[in-house]
Amino acid sequence: MDIPATVTSKGQITLPKSVRDALELNEGDRVLFRILEGRAVLAKVEDFLDLAGSVKVSPEKKGKSWPAIKASTWRHRAAVRK
């Protein structure tokens, strides 16, 4: 089903009611746009884990634990401030 919408001068769109209803979206719900082969796919974010893979991670941080990433970030920030 194709449902048109218009992009405003501020880069915003209003999700048509039929889309909101189909995805069961309500005010305050979070959505995720994923770009696949030149198309944007919109999905409702049910919980934090739905966001997995949506954030680019630099190669040096891939596979590291969250505490190790935080420590590395703090060291980098401290070095930049000097």
Task: pLDDT tens for the chain, 82 residues: list them.
Answer: 889 999 999 999 999 999 999 999 999 888 988 898 999 989 888 765 555 666 677 777 777 887 888 888 888 888 888 7
Burial class of residue 19 (count of CB atoms within 10 Å of its CB; 0-12, 13-18, 19+): middle
Structural domain of 24: 17-81
Hey, what are 41's tokens? 């796919």
Instruction: Please give the tally of structural domains in the chain.
Output: 1
pTM equals 0.53
Is 67 inside any structural domain?
A: yes
Q: What burial class does residue 76 get, using C-beta atoms within 10 Å of its C-beta: 0-12 exposed, 13-18 middle, 19+ buried?
A: exposed
Residue 2 domain-assigned? Answer: no
Look at residue 8 and tell me if it is in a domain: no
7 in a structural domain: no
What single DSSP character describes residue 31?
A: E
Would residue 6 count as lying in a domain? no
73 lies in some domain = yes
Is residue 34 domain-resident?
A: yes
